[in-house]
Each structure stands twice: as C-alpha cells, then as structure tokens.
Amino acid sequence: MKRILRLLIPVIMGVGGHLHAQTVSHEVKGVVMTQSKEVLPGAVITVDGRNWGAITEDDGRFMLKLAEGAYTLKVSYLGFKPYELQVDVPLSSDLSISLESESFGLEQVEVVSTGYQELPKERATGSFVQVNEELVNRRISTNLLDRLEDITPGLLFNRGPGESLNIRGRSTLFANTSPLIIIDNFPYDGPLENINPNDVESITVLRDAAAASIWGARAGNGVIVITTKKGSRGQATRVTFNSNITQIERPDLFYNPVMSASEVIDMELLLFGRGFYNSQENNLSRPALSPVVETKISERNGLISSSEANQLIDGYRNYDFRDELNRHFYRSAINQQHSLNVRGGSANHTYSFGLGYDKNLTSVVANDNDRLTLNFQNGWSLLNDKLDVSLGMYYVQGNTWDRTAVPSGYAYERLMDDAGNHLPLNFGYSTRYLESIADDGLLDWRYRPLDEIGLLGNRNSNNDYRINAQVGYQINSDLKAEVLYQYWHNNRIAEQLSPLASYSARNQINRFTQRDSNGELTRAVPIGDVYNRRNTVGSSHSFRSQLRYNKVIGEDHVISALGGFEVKDLTLSHHANTYYGYRPEFATSEPVDFVTRFPLYHSGALASISTGNSHSGQVDRFLSYYANASYTFRKRYILTASARKDESNLFGVNANQRGVPLWSVGGAWILSDEGFYNSGLIPYLKLRSTLGYNGNIDKSLTAFTTANYFGGNANSLTNLPFARIITPPNPDLRWEKIQIWNNAIDFASRNDRLSGSLEFYIKHGQDLIGDMPMAPSTGFTQYRGNFAETLTRGIDLQLSSKNTTGAVQWSTTYFLSWVDERVKSYELESNIRNYMQYFGVFPLEGKPLFGVFSYDWAGLDPDNGNPMGFIDGEPSSNYTGILNGATLDDIRYHGPSRPSVFGAMMHTVSYRGFSLSANISYRLGYYYKRRSVLYSNILRGDRDHADFANRWQQPGDELITTIPSMPNTNNANREFFYNHSSVLVEKGDHIRLQDIRVSYLFNKSNQPWLPFQSAELYGYANNLGVLWAANSEGLDPDFRTMPAARSVAIGLRIEF
C-alpha cells in the first residue's frame, strides 16, 4: 500500500492547488464530435481568459465548472479547425459541438487503445496500428486474428518455423513467444477461437515500448488490444444483422509431387526379391504388409500361380489411394456465420447486445464445429455524470466434432470394390495372421474405413465466460478514480469415444484378450466402447484500481496522468482418465486391471492396459504497479512517460528478484504547427521518438528446483511413485527484458491525398533465457538461465493515398515491413547438424534464430551418381568425413528462413454504392530447402517424392539431373548430406493475390422504399494464388505440401 501511495500522491497533490482555488458552482457539460457525428476523445476545451480547461473523455464528453456569467470556450483537436463559442452560465442544456476538418485531411479520427486508456493518435508518441471496424469486417473468417493478416505493418503471420504470429520479429529464444491479447481492458487467458469477429469494433496493435510498456513483463512480444462493440449515450437504437456463407475448396492431395503407384510397386517387387520383407514376415508382432508383398508371399508359398499374382499386381497399378480419399473422405468445407448486434443509449444509459452463431462443416466428411456467442454490455451515468458504472458479460459455447478419422493406406489400396463393397485395408496386422485366427472367437480385427465414416464420438467442448465490472467516480473536473474487475472461467472437455464397432475399440479388446488352459477366452479389456475424457478448467480474477488526471492549464499546457495497481490470480487444472466397457446410454463402465502386465494375443509380449490418467495444475499470480503520464505544450510538443513494476510467484528466491521495473519515455513534435513551417505540399508533419523496456516470462522456469511427480502406475519396476527433476535451482533467475528504441515520422499532404508514417526501430533482448553447458557429474549436461541476447532492427512504412476523389473514388493503402533479427550473444554452440534442421531452436551468434544453412554442393559423381560435397576444397563422397569434419566456416549460410521483408498493397475503387477492393501481398528475403527424395523411405517400400523418377541412373545423367542415384542400402549420412546441400536451397520470395472483395450498399437515403436504413451485399474470395515466385519448383513457397485453400464467400449485412 505504501508503494501505491508513493505512486499516486504526486498526482493528487498536483490537483490540490486547483481544488483549493475553485469557486465555481455551475457545471458546463457537452460532447465534441466531427460533422459526421463521430465523437472526438482527447479534444481540448479551454476557457478564454482562464488558466484551466478540460479534455474530452472516451465518449467525447467533457465537464467544466464555471461561475455564473458569459464565457468564450475554445475547442481544438488536431486535424480540425479551432472552434469558439459563446456560452452563458448556467446552461439550459448540454452543449453539442461539431468540428470541421482541416484542409490537410486527417478526416478519419484515429483513437488508439492501450488497454488502460483510449487516446487520440495525435497525442501519442508510441507506435500504434489501429484496425477499425471496416477493416475488421473486410475479411470473412471465423477467426479474428486471421483478419489482421496483410493489413497490419509489422505483424507477420509466419508459415515457416517458429511461432505462428509475431510483432516486429521474435524477442526471445525459449520463453513465451505469443503477443499479449487484451480484450476490453484485461488480458485474455482463453483460446482465441472464442472471440467472435462480429463483436469487435476495433483492434489496436502496440508495437513499441511507449505503447506497450504499461503492460510490463507480458508485453515483450507486442500487444494486441481488442475493443468490443458498445453503445453510445444519446444514440438511437441501432440493429445490425450480418450473415455469410463461405465455401472452401477441398484439399488437393495431388499438389505434393510423389511417386506413382507403379513406381511404388516396382520398388516393393525389388525389395521382395532382395528378401527385405523376410524379417517382417517372421516378426512375432505380425505387422501388416502391403497387398503386393502379400501377393508375392502367396505366390512363393504356392497358394496362387505366377500369372494370377501378376494379374493382381498389374491391377494395383491402376489405382491411387489419393483418389479413394478424395472420393470418400474429403469435401469442400462450408462455413456459416450469423450475428445480430443491438446497441444504443439514452442520456444516462448505454447498452449493447450481441448474438452470434457459427456452423462450419470441415473438409473431412461428417466432421464439423459450431460456436454460440452472447455479449452483453451496459453502462450508466449517475449522480449528475459523476459516477460511471458499467457491467459486461461475454459467453461462448463451442463444440468440435471429429466423427471421421482419415485413414492411411498403401499407395494403390482401394476402399470400395466395383460392386460397392467396403474393403478392408492391410492395416495393423498381416492378412495371413488375421486369416489364421478367423475362427478364434475374437472380434472382427479388420479395418474397413468406409464403415467408420461418422462413427466416432470425438468431441471437444468449450464453455467460456467473462464478467467485467467498472466503476468510475469523477472527483472533480480533473481527477477521476476507477475500479475495474474481471472474472474469467473456461471449461474445456475433450472426449474420445471409440464405439465397439470401431477398429480402435475392437483392436484394444482383441490385443488384451486372454486364452486360458481350457481354450476359453477372457477379456482383460471388457467388451464395449472405450471412452477417454480430458477436462481442463481455468479461471482468473483480475482487479485494477487507478486514478486518472487530466488538466488543461491556459491554452498552452495539457497534462494527462494515470496511475494505479493491478492484481491477478490465475489457476488451471487438468484431469484425464479412460473408461473401458463404456455404455453411453447408461453412463456405466467396467473395472479394469491396470497393474497386471498381460501377454498380448498376437505376440505374447507383456503390456499393461493404459489408464489414460493424468493430472496437472498451475497457479499464476501477478501484482503490478503502473503509472503513465503525458504533457502537451502549445499543442505541438508532447512528452510521455510510463513505468510499471510486475511481481510474480514464478520468480526468485530473493524478494528483490521477484519483480522487474520496466519503463518508457517518448517525445513528439508536430513540426507543421511551427510558425516557420510553410509547406503547402506536406501541411502535416510530426516527429516521434520513444525508448523503453518491455518484459517477458518463461513459465517453465523458476528459481526453485522443479520436478515431475509420477504415480506408481508409471513405474513398471516397483509400482511406487517417483519424481524426476526437471530443473536445478537458479536463485539468480531474472525476467527477460526487451529494450526498444523507436523513431518515426508521420505526414499528410493537402486534403489527405497522401498520408502515412515511416518508423525505424531497434529491439535489444537482454537477460534472455538460454542454455549454458554444465558438468555431467551434476546430473545435467546444460543449465538454462539468463544467458542470451538478441538484436533486431527494422523499418515499418505505411502509406495511404486518395488517387481519385470524384464520382469514382480510388484509394490505395500500402505497407512495407523490414526486420533483421539476430542472436547477439549465446555461448552454447550446437552440433553442425542441428543448424541444418529447418525446425527447432538452435541459436548461433550473429545469425537469425531461424536461418537456412547448407553443405556446399559439388555435383553428382559421374561414375555412380552419388552426391558430392567438399573436403579440403576437393569434391568428395566421404559423407562421414564431410559431416563430422564440417565447421561453421565450412557450411554455407543463405539467409533467414522467415521473411525479412513483407507487406501488401490494397486498392479500393468505389462508385456510388458499388465497391471493389483487392489486396496483393508479398514476402521477400528468405530461403527454404525444397523437398526431394528420401531413399530411407523408398528402401522400406514407402511412397516418397516424385524426384525419384528423375534420379541418376546411368553415366551422363549428372548433366541433366541433380537427383542422386538410389543406393543399394540405406546410407543415413549420404541422405542427410544431400537433403541439406545447397542444391536444394530455394528463395522463398513471392507475390500473391491474397483476396478480392466486392460489395454493393443499398441506402435508405438513396432508395427511400427500403424497409431498413441500409443493406450491404458482399462477396469475398481469398487465397487466389501466387502471381510470381522466385523458386524453381513451381510450388507455393509458403505452402509446399498442401496449397492454401481458395475460398469464396457471399454475405448480407442489414442495419435497421
């Protein structure tokens, strides 16, 4: 409490003088708006001849206290003409003030949210990207974050190694990599798929320390602030209905080039002739063998003739298992979205209600998911606008049904014969063994996938709700106290029900079936369904208490401050178990012996029945103190400062290491407001610079010794419980810190024909979690602590232009992001082979965390087609020598495996009610290794890459191919060298037509006969294709095994 007082006393004392001097007795209240009735938060109202004024709140409202008399009020807001009006106090009604935009534009009022406060972008020094409701609604998808792709500078949706989403690069090595998600002022702990895009009014991305440092130790990866729709005071009831349907093309199983069925069969025949399958044929586990191999065994054993065998094998050549899957298991996905939103308000009350329902049929037959969302928001203004109270509730119920499992089969297998009979796959066990036990009294042990379409009862259910409450009291015209609270609860249940008719249940029952000395069968796993249930429950309490201070002194000084503390308690628990002999109609199951090790029916090997039991839990507590302040001088010089200290139960034995202080400072200069600035070309010019620290945590680490505790069922030797140490003690463990320096210039031409911003930033990751080697005698070979640093530099450019402004309006938005991220300090050097991996985290000083390395390629040996590298500068096929002798100086670094340059250009053309927009995105400056043949797969009879057909087969082929010859036996070093050689490295640079949106707006002002205010009919097409790619293989460099599914949507939005 003492720390809270020390934080807030300076703010309170700064008000004291003003409180003492007040002699007013009448309230002057009003709202400031644009001419299009959009509220203006942060507008400055001053009283001519007085040294005080007011700043409008988030809803554009303000309040002054003045003595009786006549006054002149001056209202100002960047981008709008100053406005003066005469008032006689006391007023008979509240004021309504409309501002006219300046000639240089800025007609779009941008209000950014930090999650703690909303402020006009003109008063901000930090780096914000605001996505308004129009942009949020432009893309059609059930996932909210997908709608940020290719419209948000600095935000990369990563399709390569590492995290799926990052803001201005990665700021950590091993700790949390996800941006912090804020919804309605509080961090959101639930799954992101619970957020209904139709409930969202705006999204703000916080990219630098000044913008995000108020979130402290959770802001190191950037912050995404989501604001849901709310009503406004004095707003007439507004009802919006939105409905759309999307068709997504079925998966293209033939996109990835693989061997033909005939090539696979020829390899199986070759391997059979070599005796490769003899060990599997005689294996006591009776593994399944392919139809061709089983046919050859029958021929060898005299069960069929050679001509019969050849006829069967030639018949297999006519089929492709991918055709079977396409015909029976895959379909075009269909997504449906329906939403209803009602919002409005009276003089003292605001309300909003949202109802959403999504129904998605996935690309797998009989699988689907649905989501129901309810959103209630209410706000009241009481005690003559001194007391604000708001309550909100957000509820989500989601279900995912996986009733069909897509089978895997041999390249030429069939699922249905010509007569329509469902065929079994050669799966699990050899057909010879299954035929031999056909009369043993077991359950049918064959797997017929077509019998199981829609059979499974796998369901993931998710119930999530948030309750928000906020109370604010206006102590005086400058000072406001607020208390905020949120309760979040999530209950996720994952059910896997394998009915008795399913192969999975029958297999488990048969495997553990026992035959006694009398030949009688007993079932260790009782006959019935097998049911696994996993339940994860999470809940959190978040409480925040804060003071807001807004002070206008004369016409030159504006002070805004915020300070308070925040407490959060998060608990998670997980429990899972499996039930056998389950009867869902009666909710009963049978007891099972989980201790005894039973001999398996097919092999005699001893095994225990899986319990499926697991239990885990987590408690996460935070205590935070924060303050944020800004000072504006003469409406053009802006200074900001922010400080926060987080304390957590995860860190530190010593009290002084449980918390971390983080801060930021920033400055902005609106250069165009200076008297000496007379540019008619660029009438608006603003310079910004910020410096500060954000933080990050790794919840898998703590200062204490940690261990996993296991029950006795996990100990096959003694059946006693035991613990396994995960991490040794680390009393010096500290929070990760990310220093960010951001410099920017904002500009706009006359009438906003061209506007934009250019930002340059440097991010320095300090005290990052990394590994250090340890003496093996300690029980550990390496030790994880604060041993690493990273350095990231980047540029974000954003441009908007109005190309034509007549009857036909054509506008363009463009952004370019460049990011150069490198490991600055990391002492643990990994094995060279690890650096060759495409996935995995193996830091190397001076290089990106995810880079593409290769061995130099020396071509194919003309005598035998072996791939060659270099040893001591000479071509060699000594793979052991190449791999073991390679150093960092010997391997080649090509560049990052994630785009270093990315961006998009969106063109929008509108005429009357018609609108057409197209977005073209690009990704440049990265590399990948294209897939090629893996002989280790081929030499065990598996289907592999189509490069097999282009392999070296005779001298001279080395002049026309780079695909090595097939070795007689598997050579792991040869294969590793080839698949990580420079000949397979490709540039990932490409340009794609991401999407097109077309719409027509019916408006009552133009069509008076309409029974509603407006209606928008829209269509949307996504993932339309690659326009250009630098690679030579002809595949999408970001989707190399399965193409990005094209989709087409049509929808209708009606507003009453």
Residue 356's Cα: distance from chain center in Å?
A: 22
- Residue 993, by phi and psi: left (phi above 0), alpha (psi -120 to 50) or beta? beta
Are 799 and 813 within 8 A, CB to CB?
A: yes
Q: How far apart are CA 668 and CA 49, in angstroms?
A: 28
The pLDDT assigned to 620 comes to 86
Output the pTM of the full model: 0.88
SS3 state of residue 971: coil
pLDDT of residue 84: 86
Q: Dihedral angle at the C-alpha atoms of 520, 521, 522, 527, nearest 10 degrees?
A: -140
Give the pLDDT of residue 9.
37
Q: What is the pLDDT of residue 652?
A: 55
**Tokens standing for residue 1034:** 């002809």
- Alpha-carbon span 676 to 201, nearest angstrom: 40
Quote the pLDDT of residue 21.
42
For residue 4, the model assigns a pLDDT of 42
Any long-range contacts for 929-932 (C-beta under 8 Å, 24+ apart)? 929/838, 929/852, 929/854, 929/979, 929/980, 929/984, 929/985, 929/986, 930/984, 930/985, 930/986, 930/1031, 930/1033, 930/1035, 930/1040, 931/256, 931/1040, 931/1041, 932/963, 932/978, 932/979, 932/984
Low-confidence ranges of the chain (pLDDT < 50): 1-22, 24, 105-107
242 token code pair: 């939105």
At 977, is the secondary structure helix, strand, or coil?
A: helix
- Among 1029, 758, 988, smallest CA distance to 153 is for 758
CA 852 to chain centre: 24
User: Three-state SS for 832?
Assistant: helix
Asked if residue 433 lies in contact with residue 602, where contact means CB atoms within 8 angstroms, the answer is: yes
What are the structural domains of the chain? 2-99 (2.60.40.1120), 111-234 (2.170.130.10), 261-319+408-446 (no CATH), 856-890+930-980 (no CATH)
What is the per-residue pLDDT for 103?
55
The confidence score (pLDDT) of residue 658 equals 66
Per-residue b or e along 734-756, where b marks 16 or more CB atoms closer than 10 Å to that residue's CB: bbbbbbbbbbbebbbbbbbebbb
Token readout for 513 is 């079936």
Residue 350: HSE in the Cβ half-sphere, 13 Å Cα cutoff: 16
Cα–Cα distance between 177 and 215 in angstroms, integer?
Answer: 15
Cβ-based burial of 348 (10 A; exposed 0-12, middle 13-18, buried ≥19): middle
**Residue 48 corresponds to which tokens in the numbers above?**
């001519």
Quote the CA–CA distance of 67 and 827 in Å, as a whole number: 70
Token pair 């050849």 is found at 310
Please report the DSSP string for 441-500 in residue order: SPPP--B-GGGGTTT--EEEEEEEEEEEEEEEEE-SSSEEEEEEEEEEEEEEEEEEEE-T
User: In angstroms, rounded to a whole number, what is the distance separating the alpha carbons of residues 669 and 672?
Assistant: 9
β-pairing verdict for 874-876 and 333-345: unpaired
The owner of tokens 């205590």 is 623
Half-sphere CA count of 51, side-chain side, radius 13 A: 4
Rg, Å, the chain Cα set: 34
Q: Which two tokens stand for residue 832?
A: 């060279």
Among 742, 590, 568, smallest CA distance to 650 is for 568
**Pairwise CA distance, residues 853 & 891, whole Å:** 7
Burial class (CB in 10 A: 0-12, 13-18, 19+), 149: buried
